[in-house]
Structure 1
């Protein structure tokens, strides 16, 4: 197995460096800042605001990884008293030895999230688990190309490794799968702003927006199913 080591990004929060891919799990400019900006603000909060502030949200995530996006979604659910059902896929789960060293709870500054973060990682795979009254998660050990779901989602977090490292995860075929996983009005959000990605998203039916990126990154992309 390729070695994975913990690094500290510029905002003080941890990320991981995958030595096999020579790639970090998050932006080295700031893991926490990136996740909040790309997935929570431009994804979850945007969808909820434009949809009239509904009290229930279904999220699908490609790339559970360190669990940072799930933790932030759980925080959002608690703070806004919104029920979130969070489905996430990850073919290669991380060892708890690594997870236990990550500083996300202290970086966010909310000690009440410590138990939430632990439960997100310790709960059983392949089964929907209620973490608290506002947040339930279903972790599935699979690849996107193998996903078969009749359920449709409001928001899709696309947090795979970069196109330059794993181009097979960013194909037009898989963007079509993402489109099909979303409801009408659904939102796809990702940190990448590659030209080919934008063309592929448009080709499968998304309305594509290029948005300002998180600190240290010029742009990001959001797609809407209209």
Structure 2
């Protein structure tokens, strides 16, 4: 069991804020631009691509964190009038103090109760679970996964073949997973789990990011 985390706010290079966790010695998003990282890795590479493949998105985010990815997803889905059913997992929620100091307003999502699905509006449904991915159980199938765990040096247990096999089993055929981490063994583990892995240009100061696709029979 980890001791109580010490957290503080960091203003990143694009002016958006993130949170630093002393327990993990990690920032929740890139210090070279938190919002830009989210837009490139999760919205552009993941959500936009999934909108081209599916009429409705069932989204699983590993690492709800500051709520930035969820907020950007909600806003983009509303702008496109396309339905997103969001499920977020967070084992170590940030404090209310940190939520209040962020310079983007995800407070509505943070205030929603854990474990209860809420229809935020006609476009966006939301549920979050205070649980590790390893303990998460569901009958739902997802066609988009945002994989935003802390880096492998801080959470090696979340970048294993077994973890990616679990995610593969939770996804629909043709489903898409995106992540900021492109380390060689992460790519190998994704491929061993059954994914087709693509490397794409990353956000500032990040050369490559990954999109992994659960192949269907017609791909």
Paired residue for 2:140?
151
Paired residue for 1:16?
19
Give the superposition deviation at 1:60. 0.4
- Mind listing any 5+ residue stretches in structure 1 that lack a counterpart? 105-113
What TM-score does the superposition give when structure 2 sets the normalisation length?
A: 0.94
Q: How far apart, in 2, do the equivalents of 1:214 and 1:46 lie?
A: 17
Paired residue for 1:173?
162
Superposition RMSD in Å: 1.0
Paired residue for 2:57?
57
Summarize the alignment of residues 34-183 of structure 1 with structure 2, pairs less than 5 Å apart: 34-49=37-52, 51=53, 54=55, 56-104=56-104, 114=105, 117-183=106-172
The partner residue of 2:34 within 31, 36, 57 is 31
Give the superposition deviation at 1:2. 2.1
Give the superposition deviation at 1:93. 1.4
Secondary structure (helix, strand or coil) at the match of 1:92 reads coil
Q: How far apart, in 1, do the equivalents of 2:131 and 2:26 lie?
A: 21
Q: How far apart, in 1, do the equivalents of 2:95 and 2:30 lie?
A: 21
Paired residue for 1:2?
5
Verify the 8 A CA contact 1:119 1:131 in the aligned structure 2: no
Give structure 1 regions of 4+ aligned residues with deviation exceeding 2 angstroms: none
What TM-score does the superposition give when structure 1 sets the normalisation length?
A: 0.91
Q: How far apart, in 2, do the equivalents of 1:8 and 1:179 lie?
A: 35
Query: C-alpha offsets along residues 159-204 of structure 1, whole Å, 9 cap, x if unaligned?
Result: 0000111101111100111111110000010000000000000001
Q: How far apart, in 2, do the equivalents of 1:132 and 1:95 lie?
A: 26
Query: C-alpha offsets along residues 77-131 of structure 1, whole Å, 9 cap, x if unaligned?
Result: 1100011100011112122221011012xxxxxxxxx4xx222010111010111
Verify the 8 A CA contact 1:4 1:18 in the aligned structure 2: yes
- Mind listing any 5+ residue stretches in structure 2 that lack a counterpart? none
